[in-house]
Chains A and B, each alone.
Chain A
């Protein structure tokens, strides 16, 4: 880990002091991804010395004090979730429970209660793991992400943040400040398949958000985790469902279609063919559970 740590209280202080930090620098939020990498080593490999994988001259910028990154606010049309919000804060938020059924369904599957006290939603996105649960759920919620560098802001659709595993379009020193999530009257489901029912990284996960217009689907967004290099939007499958009845037959067709959209790999956690098959199974279950009114907003 680094020889110098700086903890700015405001964005202004951060941008003001940035030039004085010298060469390499890195943001530290909850640290759960950043330092877990330093501790863990694959079986059979000698563990790296702690913190040894980091550049010794690096400055760490602890962003947990930035007040602009905190909290969850409601506007007329959306929720603004600060990048520094802990997963446990989202779990406890009545606004999240009221408006974001997919995210609410995903949180119990996110690590363990004590980890949810540490991990931030911004870190979950910036880390750019295709397995990230909260990010996958937010993609289905149609979230946008707000980025800032020295007072200049830009806004992207959340899936556009990701370029590949552990790769984002974030520019040097650019910071994720918030997520803007639209309020719409939808139901949602998040189904995650892992080595055990709770606490584990997924083999595959499906997030589905769906708004009905009478008997028919008015709007739908489907995101998948752990089955592509990035959190994936299943656009073809969503297009198929749009305007159709939400019944078992259409759910089955959607399940078959989603398997053609994913590109899973075989790795330590699972096998590509199994993952692809499970995307279909999970989506069908998700759609049927939404159809039977298990969860949703009225």
Chain B
């Protein structure tokens, strides 16, 4: 293990960072005043949404080194060396994740803006707690705001997904 400090220096306001996104190694050039959310969207990961930019809505949620985090509050340069999962890494239209299937089947998606964040938070919940109670789900999705659905269907969807995953 190297004991020296990591030093990143912006050249003309740009940091060069290496990170892993959805299992693929990437090099990003990020501005020194840029947040991870912007950087991800610029590099094509548009599933991460910008709702508030202040940490309040959860629509920018990504899995950052194994835990859900808010990309709008992460200075992009701190993602140097990080492993990130975005909604693009969870499933595809042809091969959706059980959570994505359940959200569609339960009718939990209206405009869809909050859904990538909802799915990523829910995915982490099910990874650490495969049989969450309704209360667990409500508490865990506390930071993911939805302006359309009223949350009832989404809670149902997470329960359905938990069953699907256990069966599989």
Contacts and interface: CB of A to CB of B under 8 A. Distances in A.
Interface stretch (A28-36, A148-156, A160-168): A28-36
Given A51-B33, A114-B61, A118-B70, A1 B75 contact: yes
Contact of B10 (A4, A31, A36, A49): A4
Interface string B126-168: 0000000000000110111000000000000000000000000
B3 A13 contact: yes
Contacts, number: 110
Contacts of B4: 9, 13
Nearest to B33: A51
Interface string B10-37: 1001010000000000000000111100
A198 B140 CA distance: 11
A199 B78 contact: no
Interface string A91-135: 000000000000000001001111101100000000000000000
A117 B69 contact: yes
B143 A115 contact: yes
A39 B52 CA distance: 10
Interface residues of B, number: 39
Interface in A6-57: 6-10, 13-14, 17, 28, 31-32, 35-36, 39-40, 49-52
A62 B78 contact: yes
B128 to A, nearest CB: 9
A42 to B, nearest CB: 12
B72 A39 contact: yes
Contacts of A39: 35, 53-54, 72-73
A40 B54 contact: yes
Nearest to A114: B68
A36 B54 contact: yes
B78 A28 contact: yes
A136 B165 CA distance: 41
Contacts of B56: 199
Nearest to A13: B5
B18 to A, nearest CB: 14
Contact of A113 (B8, B35, B55, B121): B121
A88 interface: yes
Nearest to A30: B73
16 contacts: A3-B32, A4-B7, A31-B74, A39-B54, A39-B73, A50-B34, A50-B35, A52-B33, A88-B67, A108-B139, A111-B55, A112-B143, A114-B143, A115-B70, A118-B70, A198-B142
Interface of B: 1-10, 13, 15, 32-35, 53-56, 58, 61, 64, 67-70, 72-75, 77-78, 121, 139-140, 142-144
